[in-house]
Every structure is written in C-alpha cells, then in structure tokens.
C-alpha cells in the first residue's frame, strides 16, 4: 500500500523549480495542459491583500510534462474562517483548473477530503488556515497510490472495511412489524464513538504497520468490527464470526499501540483503545476451562 511515487524532499531542487523561483509564485493559466515551465503573465489583483502560500503536490500520469512529481506554489487571498479546502478551491478556480482533489459536503462528515497537510493527516474542510504555519504544504495521503495530484486510490481501504462485514446482523427480529430493536443506553454509550467513523482513511494512512503490511486490517476496519461486536443486539453467531476475523494473524494482534491512528482521527474516535478492547475479547473468546 506504499505510495508508488517518489516523494520529493525539500532539499531537492529540480531545474523547473529553479525557474519557478525566478518567476511570480503563481499566475492564472490559460491552458491547464501547458508545459510546466511556460511563462505566464503575473496576476497582481491580490497583491495588496493578505495571502497564504500553498505548496501543493502535483502529478498527472496522463500528461508527459507532468509525470514527474513536483510542488506548485499558489498565493491565495485569505479571509477569516478560510479552510485549507477553501484555499484549494480558490487555487483551482482562479489559477489552475487542472488541480485535482476530492471534496463533497464541506462539513467534515463525508471524509472525502482527507489529505496530508503540514506533515499530518487532516480533513481539509475542517482545518483552518490560521492554525497552520506558512507555507501550507498539501500532499496526498501517504502509503497509498496516487491517482492524480491529491487524489489517492482508496480501493484497498474499502476492501479492508468490507472484510469485517460492516453492517448489523442479528439472530432474532422483533415480532411486531413496526417494533424497534431496542438497545440499552449503557450499550449505546459504549459503541457511540465507534459509530462516528466517516471512512476518510486518515488513520490507515498514519499507521506504520499498515504501510508495511497490505494484509493488516487497519484501525478503521477494526473500529468498524468493534462497533458491531460490542452491540448487544448483534447475533451471537455473527459476533463469533467477527471475533474470528479480527483475531487472525493480520488482525488486532498486528497493532503496535503507537496511537498514531487516534492522534489523526478527525472525529476523535479512541481507535487504539477499541483495538485493545477487542484484543481482550479475543483472549476471552479462546479461554477454555475444561
């Protein structure tokens, strides 16, 4: 699951970057498919305004001139409350329409705009520019294949999530057609945080174990297994099946308790704690007293 593109370090300077440093940081492009070194007229319409500098990772496998990974600088006019996603959208709409990234609801609940911002996995729609040091460095999520610019391939992440069968399965349904399947308040509180997962992939990207082991379920999938395993309404047979899934070689026992997943989770889910609790459940499940 490691990223297939070589990450350019700050110390490396390509010929094109040297040329860029001698020209205006960013100018609107009339042709998004133009050569990287093409000189463009400087847009000084925002010179008197406060601006933030974004260093954005760029890569396009379909255009020969852009197949070499690089960083482009964008000077974005700042306004109070502006998020990283707002800045990226401004750069795309005013400077380079070919800039590619995912976003959807813009309310920090869809998870589609998780990126690597100033060295940490974050939701761009939730991250305020004013909380970051300049230049704001925006990169795709690490340890995942880059499709284009800031877009990564999420297929493997979704496969891992599906492998734990992330949906409710019970043995007995209520007799009445409109009768609810009741859950105690205590049990709801126990699983409440785990239900907040938005499938953004930030935790998986931050996990060193997942980076080196494609078969590891990863914190998001294990958290999803926790959500249903700990639900008192779940069927006994399915609970046993999920425990068998997570206690396999590449399940909960691969976790090294680094807390990196918990640290980057945008919904503050105690992922590491949930993984440790499932370890205890797996041990109890295998205890025999005869």
User: Measured between alpha carbons, how far is 7 from 55 in angstroms, rounded to an integer?
Assistant: 14
User: Measured between alpha carbons, how far is 217 from 239 in angstroms, rounded to an integer?
Assistant: 17
Q: Which domains does the chain have, with CATH numbers?
A: 15-152 (3.10.20.30), 155-169+182-286 (1.10.1060.10)
* Residue with the larger pLDDT of the pair 97 and 48: 97
User: Measured between alpha carbons, how far is 56 from 27 in angstroms, rounded to an integer?
Assistant: 14
Strand 114-117 and strand 120-123: the pairing is: antiparallel
Strand 136-139 and strand 120-123: the pairing is: unpaired
The torsion angles phi and psi of 151, rounded to 5 degrees, stand at -95, 130
Query: Interhelix angle for 236-246 vs 219-229, to 10°?
Result: 160
User: Measured between alpha carbons, how far is 84 from 246 in angstroms, rounded to an integer?
Assistant: 36
User: Measured between alpha carbons, how far is 143 from 248 in angstroms, rounded to an integer?
Assistant: 23
Q: Around Cβ 37, how many Cβ atoms within 10 Å?
A: 11
For residue 123, give the H/E element and its range: strand 120-123
Q: Tell me the mean pLDDT in the region 191-205.
A: 96
For residue 8, what pLDDT band results from cuts at 50, 70 and 90? Answer: very low
| CA 34 to chain centroid | 30
Q: What is the dihedral of CA 6, 8, 12, 17, to 10 degrees?
A: 110
CB 52 within 8 A of CB 76: yes
Q: Give the contacts of 206 (CB within 8 A, at least 6 positions apart).
A: 121, 142, 260, 261, 263, 264
For residue 173, what pLDDT band results from cuts at 50, 70 and 90? Answer: confident
Q: Tell me the mean pLDDT in the region 27-32.
A: 38
Question: Can you give the pLDDT at residue 171?
Answer: 76
For residue 30, what pLDDT band results from cuts at 50, 70 and 90? Answer: very low
Instruction: Please say if the pLDDT value at position 175 is more than 80.
Output: no
- As beta bridge partners, residue 137 has 55
Q: Which of 69-73, 161-165, 167-171 has the lowest mean pLDDT?
A: 167-171
Instruction: Please say if the pLDDT value at position 103 is more than 90.
Output: yes
Q: Considering only CA atoms, give the Rg of the chain.
A: 23
User: Measured between alpha carbons, how far is 96 from 258 in angstroms, rounded to an integer?
Assistant: 39
Instruction: Please say if the pLDDT value at position 39 is more than 60.
Output: no
- As beta bridge partners, residue 76 has 52
Q: Give the contacts of 158 (CB within 8 A, at least 6 positions apart).
A: 199
Tell me, yes or no, if the pTM score tops 0.85.
Answer: no
- pLDDT above 90: percentage of residues in the chain: 66
For residue 26, what pLDDT band results from cuts at 50, 70 and 90? Answer: very low
* Residue with the larger pLDDT of the pair 265 and 36: 265
């Amino acid at each position: 699951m490691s990223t297939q593109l070589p990450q350019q370090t700050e110390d490396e300077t390509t010929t094109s970057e040297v040329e860029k440093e001698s020209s205006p940081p960013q100018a609107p492009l009339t042709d998004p498919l133009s050569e990287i070194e093409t000189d463009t007229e400087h847009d000084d319409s925002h010179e008197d305004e406060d601006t933030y500098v974004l260093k954005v990772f760029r890569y396009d496998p379909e255009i020969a001139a852009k197949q070499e990974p690089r960083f482009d600088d964008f000077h974005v006019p700042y306004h109070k409350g502006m998020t990283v996603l707002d800045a990226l959208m401004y750069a795309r709409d005013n400077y380079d329409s070919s800039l590619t990234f995912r976003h959807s609801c813009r309310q920090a609940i869809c998870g589609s705009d998780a990126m690597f911002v100033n060295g940490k996995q974050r939701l761009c729609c939730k991250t305020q520019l004013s909380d970051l040091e300049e230049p704001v460095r925006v990169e795709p999520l690490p340890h995942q294949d880059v499709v284009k610019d800031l877009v990564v391939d999420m297929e493997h992440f979704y496969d891992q999530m599906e492998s734990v069968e992330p949906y409710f399965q019970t043995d007995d349904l209520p007799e009445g057609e409109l009768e609810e399947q009741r859950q105690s308040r205590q049990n709801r509180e126990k699983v409440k945080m785990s239900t907040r997962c938005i499938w953004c992939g930030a935790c998986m990207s931050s996990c060193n174990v997942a980076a080196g082991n494609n078969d590891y379920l990863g914190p998001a999938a294990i958290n999803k297994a926790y959500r249903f395993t700990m639900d008192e309404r779940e069927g006994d047979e399915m609970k046993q099946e999920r425990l068998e899934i997570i206690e396999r070689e590449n399940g909960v026992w691969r976790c090294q308790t680094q807390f990196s997943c918990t640290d980057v989770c945008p919904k503050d889910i105690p992922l590491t704690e949930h993984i440790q609790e499932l370890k205890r459940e797996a041990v109890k499940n295998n205890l025999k007293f005869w």
